[in-house]
Each structure stands twice: as C-alpha cells, then as structure tokens.
Structure 1
C-alpha cells in the first residue's frame, strides 16, 4: 500500500534538482512528521496530500520564470489548492471568503494596466512558469502556521537555493518579512531579479518603506510590469497576468 507521504510524490525533475537532500536527516524527519499527522487525522490537513506538491507539478523546473513565495496554505475550509495565494474559481470575488491578499493583488494588476483578476484561481500563472510556492506546504484546518515546525523549512530552503543557483534570469517576488527572510538563499546567485514589498494582505499592504500598494491604492509596487520587462529583456515571453474570460474558454 502506497504511503500517504513520500519523496515519490515530488516530480522527478524537482527531485533531481534537490539531489542528495533525500538522504538527509531533515528529510527523514519531515517524512516521519507528516506521516504521523496524516495517520492521526488526514481530514484536518489542507491541502489534501495529493496537492502538497501541486506547485511543482504544474510548474516544471525547466519552465520556471518567476517565483512568488507565500507562507503556508489557507487554513479556512475550501480555499487551499496547493498553490500560494490561489483559491478555487467558484469563490466569488465579493464574498467574505475571498482573501484580502488576492483583492490587493487584483488591485495592483489593474493599476499596472493588466486589468482585474476574473477570479482567485491562479492555475494559469503556474502553467506559464510562475512557481506559486508556499514555504510550508500543509496546515491544519483553522490553525494558521500549525505545520511550520514539521520540517518543511529545510525542504523549501534547499529548493529555493538550488533553483536560484541552477537557473539564471529568474524573478523572485518577496512580499512581506517571511518571504524576505529567504533573501540570503537567493542573493548570491547570478543575474536574478529580486522584487521586495510589504505583504499584500490586509493592512500590511501599505506598511514598510516598500508598500505593495500606496495608501489609498493610488499606485502599486509595479512588480508585475517589472517582471514582464525583465523577461522580455532576457528573451523570454512575458506572463499573461490576466486572461479574458473569452480567451480562457477557447484556450
């Protein structure tokens, strides 16, 4: 019987990038801790185990252009998909369940001339090479940060460092202090564009000397347009941040 959690759940290209990490005590500890949690109460874990590594499955190593770092999955029912910041498309934009982070991301996109998001589902970003990576890949329902100490940090830190060293010309969007704590893993690598701002959630969106949105939402941090300019300069196709509904239907 297949274990609920193992390295085989990680796509082979990402396993190759991580090299001998799977022989480490850190990986063995994460594997043991996650298996214990899943054995105890699998229904309380989000996202579902088959979606822990969805970001890696939808965005192969060779296709990564942009990395957006989140913290941990949404802990409210019906939100977590395995992609940082993304939620199911059927959750209405004007509903209370729609996260403030996504509302502010949509505002920033509109301010930069891309238009507003048609929904909170960001699968299309992932398929274009935007790695939507949380720094913990699981959470207990109703308890934010509850799996932060299970051992995810070591895995994700190794992945971030290996990716930055192996791929030139990546864009890193580091929103908020938690994402920016990963800066030492990236900044020694060659020719990476590192964009930093406050986190897009709630009141934090306006904080720090690098706000995600200017107070009153009069201007954005311009991360999305800066990313596309960088990609074009390095002979790569820009990201279609907002797809029209009509285009989605025929894609």
Structure 2
C-alpha cells in the first residue's frame, strides 16, 4: 500500500466525537476523502485512558462512598493499582467496563447497607460482570453460583419468586452490598487482578461499613474460605454484627454446606430483632415459584 493510500485508509477509519471535531471534504484526483479536522480544544481523537482511569472515582463512585473513602485514593498502593489498570486496559480486555467498576457504590449508598455479601473477583467472560458480586445482566445465562443462591432463597423465603434473570440490582437498591474483594479482572483469566491493590481497597470499604457514624449492626455473609478469611482479618465485632459462615455457592461446594444454610432467613430474623427491619428478598422475583414449571423462561433457569 502506498503512503497516500495508507493516509486515506487512516482518515476513513477514525472515530469522530460529535463534540470535539468537525468534518470537511478534501478533493483528490482519484477519490473524495472524508478528512477529520480536530478542533484546537481537543488534544486527541482517541480517549485518554490514563485520564479516564485517574478520575474514575470522581466520575463514577457514589457520593457517600467517595467522601468516606477519599483518604484511600491518595495512598501509594492505590496509585500503583491505577498504574496497573492503565497498563492492563492498554493491552487487554478488562471487565467490568470502567463505568461499572463502582456500580455497587451508586446502587447501595453507605447509610443504606444492611447486608454485605462478599464475592471474589468479577466474572471474566463477555457480558457477565457489571460491578455486583454474583450478578449478571440479561440475557446472560445464570452462573452456577447464582443458581444455588436462588435455590436457597426459594427455600428460605416463602414469598420469593423465581427471577427470570441474574440481575441483582433490585437487592442492591434494597440494602444488600454485593461486593467483590477484587473489582476488576482480565478477560478470560480468573484472579488475574488479584494482589494488585484491590483487596486493600475493599478491606477499607468493609471497615467503612463497620465504622459508620450511625453505629448500626450489619449482616455479613461469609461464603467460602476466602470470604471467611477477610472477615476474620478485619476482626468484626460479632456482638454488634452478625457473620453467617458456610461453604461457597459454587456447584463444586454448594452441597457441602451452602444449600440448606438458612442464611437469608437468619439475616432477616436478626435484622428484625436488632433494627425492626429486614431485606425484602422478593424484589428480585417476577414469576411465582409454584408457577415456575409453566414458563420456559423461568422453569429452566435453575436447570440449565
């Protein structure tokens, strides 16, 4: 390809931002090329990934959490984490998308947290992770762990209706903090962002819940050994808070203590006794459990 042809190809492939560029036609002897003229106010056509990631907390984190965690953002480990994320985004696909990394903070403000359910790292395949532990957006099929969570909800909560998707957003808005210990992951590479700084940050998130000014107790679900180690390390006061421990809901371990653990029922009983409130777990459902076998969209959701 000649240098002129390469220039034409480059010009035709540029993505134009509607607020930062304008177009004009340039006549040549053989073709008409749509050329992009970048306005002086725009330094680059492509997004500045470094700037986006550096300002991520300011731009996407919920106000209550950003205020409570602002000291973390200036610590050396957090800047090292940012540098790592910038390098990862330049070289690989990373999940969840940048705007969703802190979605938990926008959906569950600090003063609304009643329950904390701790996961590990985000799902690492396309269209799965969106910033809440265990949750997936439709039309993504339910992961095995979430199927078992739904099974236990059906067992614990008589009024619970089987959901038709894996989106846990309604429960996040109801006071359940679905938090992973690691908030990002490289595509198709589980635990690839572990021990890069996220665990230190999410420890700070949990401490922020423990140290809330209102002094209210919270229920912590410790599913699996990694979550149990986190809560043990943080030395949670179990006279003030409730820690519910069991096996992880993964298909590999659910039958070794997760299924039948009664955690959702126990959480509500404790919340009712302590604070005269509970989580409305039924906000997820759309089809009555007793009718689930009549709908292909819901009957197979726990079977596929």
Fold shared per TM-score above 0.5 = yes
Q: Give 1:240's match in structure 2, choosing from 270, 280, 283.
A: 280
> What is residue 267 of structure 2 aligned with on the other side?
227
- 1:27-48 residue CA offsets vs partner (Å, 9 max, x unmatched): 111111112212333xx11110
Q: How does 1:59-70 map to 2 (within 5 A)?
A: 59-70=108-119
Counterparts of 1:197 and 1:13, CA distance in 2: 31
Instruction: Please tell me whether residue 182 in structure 1 is matched to residue 182 in structure 2.
Output: no
Give the SS at the match of 1:133.
strand
Give deviations 1:175-195, integer Å, cap 9, x for gaps: 001111111214247611111
The alpha carbon displacement at 1:66 in A equals: 0.5
Instruction: List gaps (5 residues or longer) in structure 2.
Output: 1-47, 289-304
Residue in structure 1 matching 2:152, options 93, 108, 120: 108
Contact 1:180 1:196 in 2 (8 A): yes
Distance in 2 separating the partners of 1:37 and 1:203: 30
So what's the TM-score if we normalise by structure 1? 0.85
User: Structure 2: how far apart are the matches of 1:151 and 1:86?
Assistant: 23
**Rounded Cα–Cα distance in structure 1 between residues aligned with 2:221 and 2:265:** 12
Report whether the alignment pairs 1:88 with 2:129. no
Larger radius of gyration: 2
Distance in 2, Cα, partners of 1:246 & 1:102? 17
Normalized per residue, which structure has more strand? 2
Aligned-pair RMSD on alpha carbons? 2.0
Report if aligned partners of 2:88, 2:186 keep a CA contact under 8 Å in 1.
no
Give the 5 Å matches for 1:4-43: 4-6=52-54, 7-8=57-58, 9-41=60-92
Q: Is the 8 A contact 1:34 1:150 kept in 2?
A: no
Mapped contact 1:160–1:186 kept (Cα < 8 A): no
Give 2:177's aligned residue: 131
Contact 1:109–1:224, Cα closer than 8 Å, also in 2: yes
Q: Deviations over 1:153-195 (max 9, x none)?
A: 1111111122112242101001001111111214247611111
In the alignment, which residue of structure 1 is the partner of 2:12? Answer: none
TM-score normalised to structure 2 length: 0.71
Gaps of 5+ in 1: 92-96, 214-219
Describe the superposition over 1:118-141 as per-residue Cα deviations: whole angstroms up to 9, x where unpaired: 321100000001000011111111
Report how many aligned residue pairs link the two structures: 231
What is the SS of the residue equivalent to 2:130? coil
User: What's 2:8 paired with?
Assistant: none
Distance across 2 between alignment mates of 1:124 and 1:85: 13
SS at match of 1:145: coil
Is 1:141 the equivalent of 2:183?
A: no
Alignment of 1:40-59 (within 5 A): 40-41=91-92, 44-59=93-108
Structure with larger RCO (C-alpha < 8 A, sep 6+): 1
